[in-house]
Amino acid sequence: MKNIVLFASGSGSNVENIIHHFHDKPNVTIAGVLTNKRDAKVLDRCNKLKINGLYFNRTAFYETDCVVNILKSLQPNLIVLAGFLWKIPSGLIEHFPNQIVNIHPALLPKYGGKGMYGNHVHQAVKDNHEIETGITIHYVNENYDDGAIIHQSKTVLSPKDGVLEIAQKVHALEYEHFPKVIEQLLSEM
């Protein structure tokens, strides 16, 4: 049996997609979903899907062992950041070496780093008249969007695509590839 813990900060459509993917896979459990936003839509999704959803605040995350202790009790094989926007503290990374992965909505190393998340990324892609964008799934280290790359997929852009269309194309790639990459990583553990 393999355990996954998911982290998200907002809507959680990737979280829901991942939960659905593993729903009929008896050897993988979603042990919980953690969020740093008390009113995040991802918590509504967890309620609906009957998955443990937990909120933590900045103090608990950065100044206590609270989140590390919760994670230790959930015993994840893999911690998956699916739209999680806070930097992961080094103590957490040390407890779970090579067990934390993130999805970024662009082709890193382009459009990564602090402040580069969600539509900010897509706006920058649009402003630079890129002809393609995509997704990057990578291990998490102590710097934003900097760890070893596990997977990238691309999508072609049209000059007519606005931020909304770019976001839709990127989300489509995320829904298709993220669960499969997680499943592959778990199978190698």
Active-site amino acid positions:
104
147 touching ligand GAR, by CB under 6 A: no
What are the backbone dihedrals phi and psi of residue 137, each rounded to the nearest 5 degrees, phi first? -110, 125
In the complex with ligand GAR, the residue whose CB is nearer, 76 or 105, is 105
* Shortest Cβ 24–ligand GAR spacing (Å): 21
At residue 82, φ and ψ (nearest 5 deg) are -120, 80
Residue 111 lies near ligand GAR (rule: CB under 6 A): no
Residue nearest to ligand GAR (CB): 83
Block residue for tokens 């967890």: 46
> Counting contacts by CB under 6 A, is residue 13 touching ligand GAR?
yes
In angstroms, give the least distance from the CB of 10 to ligand GAR.
4
Cβ–Cβ contacts within 10 Å for residue 126, how many?
18
Nearest to 152 by CA among 114, 110, 115: 110
Q: Which is nearer to ligand GAR, 58 or 73 (CB)?
A: 58
Range list of β-strands (E), 67-186: 78-81, 100-104, 132-139, 149-156
Told to check if 12 binds ligand GAR by CB under 6 A, we report yes
Which of 118, 152, 155, 163 is in the footprint of ligand GAR by CB under 6 A?
118
Least distance (Å) between residue 39 CB and ligand GAR: 14
Task: Tell me how far apart the alpha carbons of residues 168 and 20 are, in angstroms, rounded to a whole number.
Answer: 19
For ligand GAR, what does the binding mask look like between residues 49 and 88, x meaning CB under 6 A?
A: ---------------------------------xx-----
User: Alpha carbon of 49 to those of 24, 54, 55: distances in Å?
Assistant: 13, 14, 17
Whole-number CA gyration radius for the chain: 16
117 binds ligand GAR (CB under 6 A): yes
Among 4, 5, 6, 8, binds ligand GAR (CB under 6 A): 8
Give yes or no for a contact between 108 and 135, defined as CB atoms under 8 angstroms apart. no
For residue 109, is the peptide bond before it cis, meaning its omega torsion is within 30 degrees of 0?
yes
**Footprint on this chain of ligand GAR (rule: CB under 6 A):** 8, 10-14, 82-83, 103-105, 117-118, 121, 170-171, 174
